Chain A
Amino acid sequence: MKLAYWMYAGPAHIGTLRVASSFKNVHAIMHAPLGDDYFNVMRSMLERERDFTPVTASIVDRHVLARGSQEKVVENITRKDKEEKPDLILLTPTCTSSILQEDLENFVNRASTTTDSDVILADVNHYRVNELQAADRTLEQIIRYYLTKAKKQDKVVLKKTEKPSANIIGTFTLGFHHQHDCRELKRLLKELGIITNQVIPEGGSVKELYALPSAWFNLVPYREVGLMAAQYLKKEFGMPYVAITPIGIIETALCIKEIQTILNSEPFCLKVNYSSYINEQTSFVSQAAWFSRSIDCQNLTGKKALVFGDATHAASITKILTKEMGIHVVCAGTYCKHDQAWFIEQVQPYCDKILITDDHEEVGDIIAKIEPSAIFGTQMERHIGKRLNIPCGVISAPVHIQNFSLGYRPFLGYEGTNQIADLVYNSFTLGMEDHLLEIFGGHDTKKAVIKSTSMESDLFWTTDAQLELNKIPGFVRGKIKRNTEQFAKEKNISEITVEVMYTAKETLSG
């Protein structure tokens, strides 16, 4: 047992559901007790999704506990097949159902004989993998299932597209800025003269997975999800993949060069040279390189920062801060414990200390000890920063609704470098302004004249009423006090009792 208040990565089934609901026309059925379908709320709220989330629960209740699911799961699958006519139904076990040790595979087999949809059981162990690992596995599982099936029917498209093309693997629902990143990646590929063959899973269709191998290569933008699928496609179909996350000017250039290498080597043997493209983008489209030389950024030189997040974002941001902005990253960390070897290798040269933990209190302690000028982390670090009065830029999930911005905010590619430069600059209490304030001795210290908003003190608050007033949350207390006093004045009441307060509320509210 572990005492826990907060977790960075969610339970396994969340990862499975995120992948399933990213595909078009795939329905997930959770084998779960009432209330475990909280995923639907998150998707509907955070993504402001207009469609019903294609996830339902086959409820595990007392009866199921006593008699087993028996026909229930099969019925729910066949019912959903008729109602929604999905291409695929993914039966998703939860932590509860995995202890029941029912033979879900058997239910899947039975159901699939009567459904038009394909039915598969998500193959994840709840006590061994987290949300991100589960997402990675589920994506691979679905791709493998459809390619194996297509192979048997001899339908796999092995013939490469005429022009160079790529699959983007790993952008999906509830991902941190994934939608914007995906748009930016497609633009990048287009400008390189590469066709986007398929984007998987977000917006993808399982019916078209048989044509995945027709792309020349795969692009895996995030470390956490998509690698397993890319590795499978490499092993099975010899498809090369690029797994360099194009975040920041340097990494974006490296990613493009890697693509160039693939296109220029066997079997494609093109003679593309992206150097001038990289130069032009770096000099004119991205402002980040220029920002690095501007005096604003100069003032950030040597300032201390701490970075914490998922492996992809924490590693990339650490590199940007150190290599592109001259900021001193005292500590870089990730909660992706399963991928720590990779993380350490990536950030080792660029920070003093590496932190691998999923305990937010440990992160908080280190922040308090280091006292950086800015934090780049998740929502949790933002709140730690608030408590310690240190600014924080959010760079990674877990996130709030404010991280699902309506405006265009990619982290990847050349527009992404601009966004990150803004984020970093704004987080460091405006470097230049701060510097000038220091020179001129800080803000004007004269106390602002605050008018007393309370009425004249011919009103008497009884002790009870004062106690009651103190129970009201601070941010509305003043307003309620004023309203009550105004009401009392109008009614010529000189003593404010609890009752007067309530009557005032009834009369004035609205």
Chain B
Amino acid sequence: MLDQTYSDTLQFECETGNYHTFCPISCVAWLYQKIEDSFFLVVGTKTCGYFLQNALGVMIFAEPRYAMAELEEGDISAQLNDYQELKRLCLQIKKDRNPSVIVWIGTCTTEIIKMDLEGIAPRLEVELGIPIVVARANGLDYAFTQGEDTVLAAMVHRCPEQKEIDKAPLGHQTLSPLPKSIVPKSQERVSAAPMNPLSAPSLHPPLVLFGSLPSTVASQLNLELQKQGIQVTGWLPSQAYADLPVLGKEVYVCGVNPFLSRTATTLMRRRRCKLIGAPFPIGPDGTRVWIEKICSVLGIEPIGLKEREEKVWSSLEDYLKLLRGKSVFFMGDNLLEVSLARFLTRCGMIVYEIGIPYMDRRFQAAELALLQQTCDDMGVPMPRIVEKPDNYNQIQRIRELQPDLAITGMAHANPLEARGINTKWSVEFTFAQIHGFTNARDILELVTRPLRRNENLQQFSLIPFIKG
């Protein structure tokens, strides 16, 4: 069972990387919905297409704004010209859908055959008159949610520059040199009408938040900050490609999701933005510290935050009762694990293991510090953090530890349930609304569901029949 020796620092381990996760191209599923005037073209094989088709389920029938550029034998053996082929497909997309931006998602195959997507895009962009953003969201380098990171990092380059706005004459815009030849239309509109109702003049430097969230959740976070007198200047990504936020060295940026380390780096290095390192606004504890951190950087004294947090906690009491003292094991597949583990520790759970595909200790520094502090506060041992986990070994550990809950991918969920281990499907955390004070309950709704299911089954004494 659990080692009773108290470790007072976090332990990091790294295993073989033989684990199950979604391919990062899955980010098109939520990004095409978020960026309403975009079109995502995944340049890959039947395997990629089959994954998307099955992973996205019914979404595929809703005429989504994404498609596969399916590579055939002629493309692989370079009998066909990549440039000509992509041009043909993109013209078709332009004709059928007329998007404001086409995002090319590079895959494992384009990496291996070294297709020069970054080289072709600027040429085609000029010919087509549609911006083409290239993101290499492939399974050779990345896991699941990191796909969004690669897309956002690529979009950073397309955000308008602070100075350009100031110089831009009203109503028309001269094209700047490549690769920004096609500048988002917002530059024409920014001065005409403020896109963001919240962008009234403010007393603090501009603040841009990055990370794709459903618009409801984004406005909830905007509102929380507004209560502290902070105006969010813009979001990356925005609802429309045309409204990408203005960036520059005066701009402060802050992430809302733990898997956005490339985007953060790109914002700092390429656009000289100032990064606010904070835990992520997941759970009431995370949200409070996130806001506090932003306030402190912008020189604002936060008001009423502690009370707000307390109120949320008290409204969660019915769920917390179910969770206190229970143990949880994260197999790891979406990089939200540290934040969720920190929140669940605060809820009174004991975290045995945090599996995680990739751990950027710099980008997640504040989150890791909060996790450590939370463990201290709650008087529970520090969990082990296992990077690039090995699912086979993990299952042996789950067998030994018998956690009350395993948060895992669908490949293991049913087999674990059949062996008496409660599971929650990890992908749901990516698609559910989990950010901010308002949605803390939604996280616990997910986490407690298997426990509540058991209560039901127990109540009608079905358990002996299914476990017998």
Is B141 a contact of A61 with CB atoms below 8 Å? yes
> Residue-by-residue, is A228-269 near B (CB-CB < 8 Å gives 1, otherwise 0)?
000000000000000000000000000000000000000000
* CB proximity of B168 to chain A, nearest CB, Å: 28
Complex CA distance for A62 and B138, rounded to whole angstroms: 11
Number of A-B contacts (CB under 8 A): 178
Tell me if A95 is interfacial: C-beta within 8 Å of chain B. yes
Question: Is A7 in contact with B71, judged by CB distance below 8 angstroms?
Answer: no
Q: Which of A52-60, A141-149, A325-333, A437-445 contacts B (4 or more CB under 8 A)?
A: A52-60
- Contact string against B for A residues 9-50, beta-carbon threshold 8 Å, 1 for contact and 0 otherwise: 011011000000000000000001111111011101100111
Confirm or deny: A507 has a beta carbon within 8 angstroms of a beta carbon on chain B. yes
How far apart are A254's CB and chain B's nearest CB, in angstroms? 35
Whether A44 lies near B410 (C-beta < 8 A) is: yes
- Report if B252 contacts A (CB, 8 A): no
User: Is there an interface contact between A1 and B139, defined as CB atoms closer than 8 Å?
Assistant: no
When the two chains form their complex, are residues B437 and A506 in contact, meaning their CB atoms are under 8 A apart? yes
Find A60's partner among B51, B72, B140 (CB 8 Å cutoff).
B140
Q: Contacts A1-B75, A1-B89, A56-B18; is A42 near B312 (CB within 8 Å)?
A: no
* Nearest CB of chain B from residue A208's CB, rounded to whole Å: 26
Residues of B within 8 A of A41 (CB): 20, 54-55, 409-411
Stretch at the interface among B61-69, B150-158, B272-280: B61-69
Any chain B CB within 8 A of the CB of A475? no
Residues from chain B with a CB closer than 8 A to the CB of A96 are 45, 47, 108-109, 112
Task: Knowing A3-B92, A42-B54, A507-B315 are in contact, say whether A34-B414 is a contact too (CB < 8 A).
Answer: no
Residue of A whose beta carbon sits closest to that of B50: A10
Q: Is the beta-carbon distance between B392 and A95 smaller than 8 angstroms?
A: no
Among B80, B141, B415, B441, which residue has its beta carbon within 8 angstroms of that of A506?
A: B441
What residue in chain B is nearest A14 (Cβ atoms)? B50
Q: Which of A35, A60, A400 contacts B23 (CB 8 A)?
A: A35
Cα A99 to Cα B47 with chains together (Å): 13
Q: Are B68 and A509 touching (Cβ within 8 A)?
A: no
Q: For residue B415, which residue of chain A has the nearest CB?
A: A52
Q: List residues 38-85 of chain B with CB under 8 A from any CB of chain A.
A: 43, 45-47, 49-51, 53-55, 57, 60-61, 64, 67-73, 75-76, 80, 85
Instruction: Answer whether residue B215 sits at the interface, using C-beta atoms and an 8 A cutoff.
Output: yes
Specify the chain B residue showing the minimal Cβ separation from A127: B73
Which residue on A lies nearest to B54, using beta carbons?
A42
Task: Flag B384-414 by CB within 8 Å of A: 1 or 0 each.
Answer: 0000000010010000000000000111111
Q: Scan B108-138; emit 1 where CB is below 8 A from any A CB, else 0.
A: 1101110000000000000000000000001
Do B23 and A11 touch across chains, with their CB atoms under 8 A apart? no
| A126 in contact (CB, < 8 A) | yes
Shortest beta-carbon distance, B322 to chain A, in Å?
A: 12
A4 and B61 in contact, given A14-B50, A44-B414, A50-B418 (Cβ under 8 angstroms): no
Q: Which of the segments A178-186, A213-221, A497-505 contacts the partner chain?
A: A497-505
- Closest residue of B by beta carbon distance from A400: B57
Q: Is A7 in contact with B53, judged by CB distance below 8 angstroms?
A: yes
Contact of A65 among B51, B89, B111 (CB under 8 A): B111
Q: When the two chains form their complex, are residues A1 and B85 in contact, meaning their CB atoms are under 8 A apart?
A: yes
Minimum Cβ distance to chain B for residue A125 (Å): 9
CA–CA, A152 and B347, complex, Å: 65
Chain A residue at minimum C-beta to C-beta distance from B90: A3
Task: Give every chain B residue within 8 A of A32 (Cβ-Cβ).
Answer: 139
Q: Tell me if B17 counts as interface (CB < 8 A to partner A).
A: yes
Do A50 and B144 form a contact, CB below 8 Å, given A1-B71, A1-B89? no
Contact between B411 and A37, CB atoms less than 8 A apart? yes
Interface contact A35-B143, CB-CB below 8 Å: yes
B283 near A: Cβ within 8 Å?
no
Per the bound structure, the CA–CA distance linking A464 and B413 in Å amounts to 41
Contact A48 B414 (CB under 8 A): yes
**A510 within 8 Å of B (CB atoms):** yes
A451 interface contact, C-beta 8 A: no
Instruction: Report yes or no: A502 in contact with B138, Cβ–Cβ below 8 A.
Output: no
Label chain B's interface by main secondary structure. helix
Across the interface, B45 reaches (CB within 8 A) one of A44, A60, A126, A128, namely A126
A507: nearest chain-B partner, CB-CB: B315
A3 and B89 in contact, given A41-B409, A61-B140, A95-B47 (Cβ under 8 angstroms) = yes
- The reply to whether the CB of A6 lies closer than 8 angstroms to some CB of chain B is yes
Our pick among B49, B55, B112, B315 for the contact of A100 (Cβ within 8 Å) is: B112
Q: Is the CB of A44 within 8 A of B412?
A: yes
- Which range holds the interface residue count of chain B? 35 or more
B24 at the interface (CB under 8 A from A): yes
Question: Is the CB of B301 closer than 8 A to any CB of chain A?
Answer: no
Closest chain A residue to B44, Cβ basis: A95
Interface of A is mostly: mixed
Which of chain A's residues have a CB closer than 8 A to the CB of B442?
A: 509
Closest to B63 in A: A5
Q: Is the CB of B60 within 8 A of A6?
A: yes
Taking a contact as CB atoms under 8 Å apart, the answer to whether A62 and B47 are in contact is: no
0 or 1 for each of A59-81: is its CB under 8 Å from B? (1 = yes): 11110010000000000100000
Known pairs A41-B410, A45-B410, A49-B415; A1 contacts B80 (CB<8 A):
yes
Among B20, B69, B109, point to the contact of A37 (Cβ < 8 A). B20
Which listed residue, B51, B80, B85, B414, touches A50 by the CB 8 Å rule? B414
- Complex alpha-carbon distance, A23 and B356, angstroms: 33
Contact (Cβ within 8 A) B17 A61 = yes
B112 A36 Cβ-Cβ under 8 A: no
B197 at the interface (CB under 8 A from A): yes
Contacts of A48 in B (CB 8 A): 414
**Is A345 in the interface zone, CB < 8 Å from B?**
no
Tell me, in angstroms, the Cα distance from A505 to B219 when the chains sit together: 14
The answer to whether A468 has its CB under 8 Å from any CB of chain B is yes
- Judge if A187 is at the interface, Cβ distance under 8 Å: no
Q: Does B445 contact A (CB under 8 A)?
A: yes
| Alpha-carbon distance between A38 and B18 when the two chains are bound, in angstroms | 13
- Chain A residues with CB below 8 A from B89, complex form: 1, 3
- Our pick among A36, A83, A464, A499 for the contact of B197 (Cβ within 8 Å) is A464
Q: Report if B216 contacts A (CB, 8 A).
A: yes
Give, as a whole number of angstroms, the nearest-CB distance from A84 to chain B. 9
B418 CB contacts on chain A under 8 angstroms: 50-51
> Are B61 and A7 touching (Cβ within 8 A)?
no
Instruction: Evaluate whether A36 and B53 lie within 8 angstroms (CB atoms) in the complex, with A1-B80, A3-B69, A13-B47 already known.
Output: no
Does B22 interact with chain A (Cβ within 8 Å)?
yes
Given B68, B80, B223, which contacts A499 in the complex, CB threshold below 8 Å?
B223
Whether, in the assembled complex, A471 has its beta carbon less than 8 Å from a beta carbon of chain B, the answer is yes
Q: Mark interface residues in A468-510 (1 if CB within 8 Å of B CB, else 0).
A: 1001100000000000000000000000001100100111011
Shortest A75–chain B CB gap in Å is 10
Check A2–B112 contact: CB distance below 8 A: no
- Could you tell me if B51 and A35 are in contact, using CB atoms closer than 8 angstroms? yes
Residues of A within 8 A of B73 (CB): 127-128
Q: Is the CB of B411 within 8 A of A53?
A: yes
| Given A3-B69, A10-B50, A94-B47; A40-B17 close (CB under 8 Å) | no
Chain B residues with Cβ below 8 Å from A472 are: 216
Interface contact B139-A34, CB-CB below 8 Å: yes
In the complex, which of the residues A57, A127, A471 contacts B216, with contact meaning CB atoms closer than 8 Å? A471
Looking at the assembled complex, report how far the CB atom of A462 sits from the nearest CB atom of chain B, in whole angstroms.
12
The answer to whether the Cβ of A85 comes within 8 Å of any Cβ in the partner chain is no
Is the CB–CB distance between A33 and B441 below 8 Å?
Answer: no
Question: How far is it, in angstroms, between the C-alpha of A32 and the C-alpha of B20 when the chains are bound?
Answer: 12
In order of increasing CB-CB distance, the 6 nearest A-B pairs are A35-B23, A33-B139, A40-B411, A50-B418, A1-B85, A383-B61
5 inter-chain pairs at a CB distance below 8 angstroms, sorted by A residue, are A7-B50, A10-B50, A96-B47, A96-B108, A506-B315
Other than A3-B89, A35-B51, give 16 A-B pairs with Cβ distance below 8 A: A1-B72, A1-B75, A3-B69, A5-B60, A6-B53, A34-B19, A34-B21, A35-B143, A96-B47, A96-B109, A383-B61, A400-B57, A468-B216, A502-B223, A506-B437, A509-B442
Interface positions of B (Cβ within 8 A of A): 17-24, 43, 45-47, 49-51, 53-55, 57, 60-61, 64, 67-73, 75-76, 80, 85-86, 88-89, 92-93, 108-109, 111-113, 138-144, 197, 215-216, 219-220, 223, 312, 315, 318-319, 392, 395, 409-415, 418, 437-438, 441-442, 445
